[in-house]
Amino acid sequence: MSSPAEIPVPRTYRVRTYGCQMNVHDSERLSGLLEAAGYTAAPEDGDADVVVLNTCAVRENADNRLYGNLGHLRPVKDAHPGMQIAVGGCLAQKDRGDIVRRAPWVDVVFGTHNVGSLPALLERARHNAEAQVEIAESLEVFPSTLPAKRDSAYSGWVSISVGCNNTCTFCIVPSLRGTEKDRRPGEILAEVQALVDQGVLEVTLLGQNVNAYGVEFRDRGAFADLLRATGRIEGLERVRFTSPHPREFTDDVIAAMAETPVVCHQLHMPLQSGSDDVLRRMRRGYRQERYLGIIERVRAAMPDAAITTDIIVGFPGETEEDFQQTLDVVRQARFSSAFTFQYSKRPGTPAAEMDGQVPKDVVQERYLRLTALQDEISWAENRGQIGRRVELLVAAGEGSKDAATGRLSGRARDGRLVHFRAADGVRPGDVVETVVTDAKPHFLVADGALLAHRRTRAGDAAEAGTRPTTPGVLLGMPRIGVPAQLAPAGGC
């Protein structure tokens, strides 16, 4: 009597993500694609049959980080015959075949435009017993039409566009992700509806330059209209977006934020520099006066708005006077927080070839002055929140406190991180209300008793330990709740 056939064990995978929110969103799609192809997620304490590195080319030392990680993976692969390593994302788009030349143990290299090719490339690499390098020059399939496995049961990313039409001299993104491609609003709203149907409470509309949305179908009001339409989806409680660009930021977007209850009063508005001369060399397309005018109008419409920013210190040619102008704008804008960066050359960008590269020690000294000022402002702004009643969407694994403090973490509607006193039955994805009792530069504390606790479907899913999956939103799906004016169609 013959023994029954052995059931094949599914191959396991792990996706490592570097860089911006767009990469996080792409990684959810990569996980969804692999699961649809029969792979299963590797346990946290175990090795994976397939390791995918979703890379970034913008962050400092991105190349060193990639090849360092690949070096660490080589002995792991040597010890596990049949293991595969795939490299995708912006650095793969930039380096292409050089990755396999420098790290010949890599099996697959794929670019930003062909995320959907990964399962087929892995299979081809196994069949042919040789590395597969496939870099598309333009977008083949919009990432959000692909299946996804999301990390969160309560919040989700929704891409409204990919690529960028700007020509900032420090940025390599347009050459790696291409010119802007906009999704049809009906497809965006259908994806949001699908997420809400799964219990998601919060979505973030995502693009390299979200407020330029509509450029392909020549509708300058398309983004404001999209915010209002998204806000009409029943069951959705919070809408955020990132990142806008000051050059295209218009008053109709401010009005949509202020007048649509579910749109959070949170704005990430990259400054980069407060000096008009530096902004000109950066090719940012706006000046200090316009930037501060936007901040003033946002605060007039939404006095409770929390505004964050990006700032680059030490851009080529930056003088002490230029830097002082940046400090002046920071003092006037009073950002709730800022992502600050020391300028470093990015090969392939015009800024890398500019005269006047600022010495590293000068950049470092300015950077420390800027961060000290911003920390002072952030702390003062946070102290102004003490005594305020806040609604928190309870977070999982984000700044969570240890058991000794008796606190959990959540995000207020304005995006601030709040550590609050834990209570029985509160799960990630639930909604609680409490009062802020203390403030630090980078977070708030609420040590009083909860004023309210609402259990949610997302909390049920988190409690069950399930990771939600989305099958993908097909092109041509019905436009759900799209007003007539919309029907035709990581931040810089």
Beta carbons within 10 angstroms of residue 484's beta carbon: 7
Nearest to 237 by CA among 260, 258, 268, 256: 260
Strands 444-446 and 417-421: parallel
* 59 vs 231: CA distance, rounded Å: 33
Tell me what percent of the chain is helix, strand and coil, each rounded to the nearest 5.
35, 20, 45
Q: What is the DSSP string of 102-144?
A: H-TT--EEE-TT-GGGHHHHHHHHHHHTS-EEE--SS-SS-GG
Tell me the β-bridge partners of 310. Answer: 339
Q: How far is CA 247 from CA 263, 305, 310, in A?
A: 21, 20, 15
3-class SS of residue 419: strand
Tell me if 170 sits within 8 A of 315, measured CB to CB. yes
In the DSSP assignment, the letter for residue 404 is G
Q: What is the DSSP string of 306-329?
A: EEEEEEEES-TT--HHHHHHHHHH
Phi-psi group of 426: left, alpha or beta (phi > 0 → left; psi -120 to 50 → alpha; rest → beta): beta
Helix (H) or strand (E) holding 427: none
* 114 vs 327: CA distance, rounded Å: 42
3-class SS of residue 198: coil
* 196 vs 355: CA distance, rounded Å: 51
Helix (H) or strand (E) holding 207: none
Tell me if 467 sits within 8 A of 149, measured CB to CB. yes
Q: Which residues are annotated as a binding site?
A: 20, 56, 90, 164, 168, 171
Q: Which residues are annotated as a binding site for [4Fe-4S] cluster?
A: 20, 56, 90, 164, 168, 171
Tell me if 367 sits within 8 A of 374, measured CB to CB. no
